[in-house]
Amino acid sequence: MAAVETGNYAQLIKEYVERAFVVDAAVLNDAELACKAYFGEKDGILAIAGTGSSCYVQKSGKGQMVGGWSHILGDEGSGYHTVIEVFKNIVNKYDKDIPFDKLSNSMLEKIGGTSRSDIMDFIYSNEKNTIASLFPVIVDFSMQGDRYAVELLENAGRHLAELTCTAYKKAGFNGNVTIGLKGGIFHNSCFIVSSYINEIQTCLKDFEIIGEDISATRGACSIYKQNYNGGKIAPKNLQ
* CATH code at 41-211: 3.30.420.40
Give the residue extent of every domain in the chain. 41-211
Which residue intervals of 112-183 are DSSP H helices? 116-125, 128-132, 135-143, 147-171
Contact 35, 56 (CB under 8 A): yes
Cα atoms found within 13 Å of the Cα of residue 41, Cβ hemisphere only = 7
Look up the pTM and report it: 0.86
Q: What is the pLDDT of residue 133?
A: 97
Choose the weakest-confidence range: 3-12, 186-195, 229-238.
229-238
Q: Is the pLDDT of residue 238 over 50?
A: no
The string of pLDDT tens digits covering residues 73-99 is 989 999 999 999 999 999 999 999 999
Mean pLDDT on 136-155 = 98
pLDDT, tens digit, 9 for 90 and up, residues 147-162: 999 999 999 999 999 9
Characterize 10-26 residue by residue with b for buried, 16 or more Cβ atoms within 10 angstroms of its Cβ, and e for exposed.
beeebeeeeeeeeebbe
Q: Which residues contact 62 (CB under 8 A, 6 or more apart)?
A: none
CB 89 within 8 A of CB 166: no
